[in-house]
Amino acid sequence: MIQNRKKGKVLLGMSGGVDSSVAAVLLKEKGFEVIGTTMQLWENVQGTVEDAKKVCEKLEIPHHVIDCTKEFRTHVVENFIECYTCAKTPNPCVECNQYLKFGAFYEEAKKLGCEYIATGHYAKIEYEETYGTYVMKKSQAKEKDQTYFLYGIKKEILPHVLFPLEELKDKEQVRKIAEEYDLSVVHKKDSQEICFIPDNDYVSFLKKEGQKEKQGNIVLKNGTILGKHKGLMHYTVGQRKGLGIAYEKPLYVISLNAETKEVIVGEEADLYQTTLLATNVNFLLPIFSTEMNVTVKIRYRAKEAQATIKKQEENWLVTFKEPQRAITPGQSVVFYIGDMVLGGGIIK
């Protein structure tokens, strides 16, 4: 918990939203020396910078802007484009957290002599006697918990990470604190879009980035051709609407084949699988076995499912106790032991 940490200088990531603004309030209340910092990741961030700056002026803490547009393009945007090229569905927030908000940001903190970095994420860092190290745990605000997006953080920096919102139980508490301090962002809405695609039209974005709509066949899993599709970028596993084909039963996208440019469809029962392979796995806890019983999330809003994970060369095989719906290549799979984040990886 934050109150158990030695007080020191903190580099706080400020997005211009209410969560990171209240994080600044809580850090200052607990006696930390706070430096508010906004990472410039994309072109249209002026409003974000201005909102963060106003809050810092109100709280009488310094505010800086760090230009990370080049790193963001390399690690997040290019990865996003590459995933769609390979017929996968990416999760850019995971990449951004790993390489920018808890990567480049931490390096900047060290340059400024800060002992900690902090963000307005809903998660918790605690020292766990069982492992003799700091661990990441789920937030008290269960509906807002963001640990699914944070598994990619390097475990070595956990002792230097603070999540000031860790003990708050819901968004209402956050906004109440913002009201008490008369912060200008108190009623600012949460962003629901990908930050570099504010209109949520990712297909148009991909086209602007030079991606072509390569047409191909829509086929049943037995190979029967049902029609043509307008490009793999328009489809994802589990999709039902927008297929543009007629069939005697409702059909869903069950997989995409980048090599043959096929959209494979089937009935809803075909969406359920009992295994997946996780690659690029990052562990936040010490690993004492090559096979473990855990709970698993295959998407942010999915319920945790019981599973066994087993080392398989450089990857980890996940076997579920009950079949899971619409396991999607490119998305993240995250492993938990109780309320602790064991780690996670990318669905292959």
Cβ contacts of 92 within 8 Å, gap of 6 or more:
76, 77, 79, 80, 194, 196
Mean local confidence (pLDDT), 144-152: 97
Query: What is the residue-averaged pLDDT of the chain?
Result: 94
Q: Is the pLDDT of residue 44 over 70?
A: no
| 72-96 residue pLDDT tens | 999 999 999 999 999 999 999 999 9
**For the chain, what percent of residues have pLDDT higher than 90?**
90
Ranking 39-48, 49-58, 259-268 by mean pLDDT, the lowest is: 39-48
Mean local confidence (pLDDT), 105-123: 97
CB 54 within 8 A of CB 87: no
**What is the per-residue pLDDT for 203?**
94
Q: Where in the chain is the domain with CATH 2.30.30.280?
A: 213-266
Q: Where in the chain is the domain with CATH 2.40.30.10?
A: 271-347
Residue burial 242-268, b: 16+ Cβ < 10 Å; e: rest? ebeeeeeeebbbbbbeeeeebbbbbee
| 171-191 residue pLDDT tens | 999 999 999 999 999 988 887
Catalytic residues: 96, 195
Identify the CATH homologous superfamily for domain 271-347.
Translation factors (2.40.30.10)
For domain 213-266, give the fold. Answer: SH3 type barrels. (2.30.30)
Strands 33-40 and 315-325: unpaired
**What is the per-residue pLDDT for 219?**
97
Q: Where in the chain is the domain with CATH 3.40.50.620?
A: 2-180
Q: Is the pLDDT of residue 193 over 80?
A: no
With cut-offs at 50, 70 and 90, classify the pLDDT of residue 46.
Answer: low
For domain 2-180, give the fold. Answer: Rossmann fold (3.40.50)
Q: What is the arrangement of strands in the sheet containing 116-118, beginning at the earlier edge strand?
A: 63-67, 33-40, 9-13, 116-118, 161-162
Give the residue among 56, 95, 57 at the shortest CA–CA distance from 75.
95
